[in-house]
Amino acid sequence: MNGFNKSDHEQILSCLTDDIEWEMPGTFHLFGKESFDKEIENDAFVGNPVITVTRMVEENNVVVAEGKVIVKKKEGVSLMLCFATFLIWKMQN
């Protein structure tokens, strides 16, 4: 989340696996790091998003983060979104 707040591609991508999926229902569904990287700074928006995590829950190998995003569009209006991010990891032997 901190990486997104400052549009730090390297920090964001270092946390992801190659099979990452990013879905914005009704807008887009991306697969893979390359597609994810291209969407980090979308030309329709200006400045950096402000991301606030409101709740985080961890159980077994799953973390769920909920929060909100505020980002300014080029037209001058702000877009406010709510999100839920599901992170699943596998323990390595």
Give the range of the structural domain holding residue 55, as residue numbers without chain letter: 2-88
Instruction: Give domain status of residue 93, yes or no.
Output: no
pLDDT digits (tens, 9 = 90+) for 10-60: 998 998 888 898 888 888 899 999 998 888 888 889 988 899 999 999 988
What is residue 43's three-state secondary structure? coil
Instruction: Give domain status of residue 57, yes or no.
Output: yes
Instruction: Give domain status of residue 26, yes or no.
Output: yes
Tell me the whole-structure pTM to 2 decimals. 0.74
Instruction: Give domain status of residue 28, yes or no.
Output: yes
pLDDT digits (tens, 9 = 90+) for 83-92: 988 877 665 5
- In total, how many domains does the chain have? 1
Instruction: Report the C-alpha dihedral over residues 8, 33, 1, 55, rounded to 10 degrees.
Output: 180
Q: What is the CATH number of the domain that holds 16?
A: 3.10.450.50
Instruction: Give domain status of residue 82, yes or no.
Output: yes
